[in-house]
Homo-oligomer: A and B are copies of this chain.
Amino acid sequence: MKFCSNCGSGQITLQIPPGDNRERFVCPACQTIHYQNPNIVAGCLPVWEDKVLLCRRAIEPAHGLWNVPSGYLENGESVADGARREVWEEAAARVKIDYLISLYNLPKINQIYLQFVGELVDGAFGVGEESLETALFTEADIPWKEMAFTSSVFTLKRYFEDRRTGVKRLHRADYPAV
């Protein structure tokens, strides 16, 4: 942050405000404190019969690699809203949310992944603008070596385990766990 978004001053400083215990960007001209906080990445693993739907990314980072449909949660959305939207945008598919399967922390890059499992409505899907292709995979066919992010590997592994045990539950981990 170089300029104050409230008053335009170029004198922004990094300091600990009174009553706080962390350095913040503070504007000495108008006293605004500019907080910066982690972002939520919301996603959903769409399931259809014994298969799961993955998307091959048409955008950076990880262009060309496979992923569980996910993206930044937007203002005005619940986490489930965001997950459903991402499935629509990346795979032109509608899902019925089943359960939250993973809370995956990437504190070094200030991202918190929250991924659900959901059922594909009618089994229909397409290819969204942010995807090169989309496809249903059985567990044996998952392209493990061409996955975009550890968060998605974590979610996929936990999903297949949950399916074997019959227990649908939330799993928590920090990067780089898979």
Q: Which residues of A contact B (CB under 8 A)?
A: 1-8, 10, 19, 22, 34-40, 72-81, 99-100, 103, 105, 107-108, 110, 112, 114, 129, 169-170, 172, 174
The smallest beta-carbon distance between A75 and chain B, in angstroms, is: 5
How many of these chains are in the complex? Answer: 2
Secondary structure at chain A's binding surface: helix, strand, loop or mixed? loop
CA of A63 to CA of B124 in the docked complex: distance in angstroms?
50
Do the beta carbons of B107 and A78 come within 8 Å of each other?
yes
The smallest beta-carbon distance between A26 and chain B, in angstroms, is: 13
Do the beta carbons of A170 and B172 come within 8 Å of each other?
no
CA of A144 to CA of B36 in the docked complex: distance in angstroms?
33
Q: What are the 8 closest A-B residue pairs judged by CB atoms, nearest first?
A: A78-B105, A3-B8, A5-B5, A75-B110, A170-B170, A1-B5, A37-B39, A76-B107
When C-beta atoms are compared, the residue in chain B nearest to A22 turns out to be B74
